[in-house]
Amino acid sequence: MDRLPPATTILQVIPDLNSGGAEQTTLDVARAIVKAGGKALVVSQGGQLVNSLVDTGAEHILMPVKSKNPLTLWKNAGRLTRLIAERNVSLLHARSRAPAWSALWAARRAKIPIVTTYHGTYNQTNTLKAFYNSVMARGDAVIANSGFIAGIIRDRHPSASDRITVIERGSDLKGLDPENVSALRRQALKDSWGIPTGRPIILNMARLTAWKGQKVVIEAMALLRDAGLDEPIAILAGDAQGREAYAAELRKLIADHRLQESVRLVGHCADVPAALALADLSVVASVEPEAFGRAAVEAQAASVPVIVSDLGAVPETVLAPPEVTEDRRTGWRVPPGDPQALADAIQAALALDPATMEKMSSRALDHVRRNFSVETMCARTLAVYGQQLNGAQAASG
């Protein structure tokens, strides 16, 4: 869909606008809404990406939608209902469970369509949690960000099966192209990280939370050092987002292994393309299933060899035996939570000859271009909006 119907206002609701795949997708879709002639509103509790959102031409509205307090959810429903009326909102798009409940109630009161995106696997250990999660399958249209997630939705919420559309997260392939990253940007980031020249860089780009597997990377680096491979340096780039106790655990583990010169915690990285342009290898070490795995896609888009944990949506984003033949490999997949397997894969990747590495990187780039561009993601999302808006218009007369 190139254009939205005239006077269309789309309101996206997300807990906050700090770093993360759902947050970046919100910005990308907001930009596409504006480009398609619509008005883009985003409600969140704020965050470091608000200015970037405003730069897309969208408007940010502050609301305490990160809260899971039932009373706050109910009050937010009232706030959203008033906002829909005041701003003539055409459609709501909810991207997380707590705000989705408020958005669902508001959309039903205002009689406008609501779209939900199932962004995660959402732990479901009891009946109450299952009910809480179910809101993400109650949209008039339900977007799954991978085939893996679509399968989870069908298993948990069979009644939603005919409303599911799989739309994989898209990446800015042009921006990730290393040829579009200046030497000045690369050097500025390298200097800020304090990396000596000549050391291979292993990049782990993930927010600091235990399930992202930073401890596995540290343990693998210790194994590599013990095996005599002490030249690589691992960069753990990610925002702690308030998890200071976990960040302290990582620093202690680094110190316990005497890896201060081989592992760096560098905090949030605002220039992802520059980080990837510096990297010799990218590692996604998650110990729980990735709903999609944007970091692996971005690495392949930047022609950086990638090693990923073999679970979740990974078989969709990184091709490797046994699902494909060796000549179709785009990266390496290792068992989750296995430092030795990760260390072995790092050693194998760094030992590849340049010609073999170039061929694999070329296959990976082609795979990403065909399946995971931001333009494809946004076009398919706007098409879902168009279907819902047309359906609502037909129903109203």
pLDDT value at residue 110: 97
Q: Tens digits of per-residue pLDDT, 276-298? A: 999 999 999 999 998 888 899 99
Confidence label for 242 from pLDDT (cuts 50, 70 and 90) = confident
Segments making up each domain of the chain, as ranges: 9-170+373-396, 173-371
Does the N-terminal peptide bond of residue 322 adopt cis geometry, omega within 30 degrees of 0? yes
CA–CA distance, 278 with 234 (Å, rounded to integer): 12
Contact 29, 41 (CB under 8 A): no
pLDDT at res. 122: 87
Q: What is the pLDDT of residue 397?
A: 61
Contact yes or no for 206/214 (Cβ under 8 A): yes
Asked if domains 9-170+373-396 and 173-371 share a fold, the reply is yes
**Torsions phi, psi for 256 (to 5 deg):** -60, -35
Give the separation between CA 298 and CA 176, rounded to whole angstroms. 7
- Does residue 169 register a pLDDT over 80? yes
The answer to whether the CB of 285 falls within 8 A of the CB of 260 is no
CATH of span 173-371:
3.40.50.2000
Coil vs helix vs strand at 10: strand
Tell me: the pLDDT tens digits for 199-223? Answer: 999 999 999 999 999 999 999 999 9
pLDDT, tens only, 55-75: 999 999 999 999 999 999 999
End-to-end CA distance of the chain: 23
Find, among 250, 309, 253, the residue nearest to 285 by Cα: 309
pLDDT category of residue 253 using cuts at 50, 70 and 90? very high
CA-based angle 292:296:297, to the nearest 5? Answer: 80
Q: 10 Å Cβ neighbour count for 211? A: 14
For 76, residues 6+ apart whose C-beta sits below 8 A from its C-beta are: 63, 64, 65, 67, 99, 102
- CATH code of the region 9-170+373-396: 3.40.50.2000
Rounded Cα distance between 163 and 158, Å, is: 10
